[in-house]
């Protein structure tokens, strides 16, 4: 069963995204970090390059109209249309997009939600969409943790 995990009340979403991507690849998978903003992807790329040498996360920006790189553990991408990805690839969703509507739903989606009322309202919509699509839902309240 597909699973969507929500991390809410995150105080520093960009920092948390780097840590969450690292944890996801340590768990043995590949990760697609999806954003609705090319600027956000560029900032995340820069942040990932600035990690300590021993905690560096191999990654690259993927242009979704090109063939998906097969060896890179973390791909960063943006676009107007959700791409088709392997079902076993974890999606770290930094956008308001509903991955339950993707051409092929991933087995795992990670959602980082900030503290603002707008962020929380958008997350509630995605939460409902995932649940209605049959995803198992996990929720971690990160207040005072991240």
Give the C-alpha separation, 44 to 143, whole Å.
Answer: 22
Give the C-alpha separation, 21 to 124, whole Å.
Answer: 22
Give the C-alpha separation, 103 to 85, whole Å.
Answer: 8
Q: What is the pLDDT of residue 145?
A: 65
User: Per residue of the chain (146 residues), what is the pLDDT tens digit?
Assistant: 899 999 999 999 988 998 899 888 887 789 999 999 999 999 999 888 876 666 788 899 999 999 999 889 999 999 889 999 998 899 999 999 999 899 988 999 999 999 999 999 999 999 999 999 999 999 999 986 65
Provide the edge-to-edge strand list for the sheet that holds 108-112. Answer: 59-61, 74-78, 31-35, 90-93, 108-112, 3-8, 136-141
Q: What is the pLDDT of residue 82?
A: 92
Tokens of 127: 């939460």
Give the C-alpha separation, 133 to 25, whole Å.
Answer: 25
């Amino acid at each position: 069963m597909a699973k969507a995990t929500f991390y809410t009340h995150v105080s520093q979403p960009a920092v948390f995204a780097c840590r969450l991507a690292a944890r996801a690849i340590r768990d043995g998978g590949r990760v697609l970090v999806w954003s609705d903003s090319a600027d956000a992807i560029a900032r995340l790329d820069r942040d990932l390059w600035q990690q300590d040498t021993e905690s560096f996360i191999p990654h690259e920006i993927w242009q979704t109209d090109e063939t998906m790189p097969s060896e890179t553990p973390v791909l960063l991408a943006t676009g107007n249309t959700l791409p088709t990805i392997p079902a076993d690839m974890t999606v770290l969703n930094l956008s308001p997009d509903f991955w339950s509507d993707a051409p092929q739903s991933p087995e795992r989606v990670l959602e980082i939600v900030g503290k603002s009322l707008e962020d929380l309202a958008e997350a509630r919509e995605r939460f409902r969409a995932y649940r209605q699509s049959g995803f198992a839902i996990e929720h971690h309240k990160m207040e005072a943790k991240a």
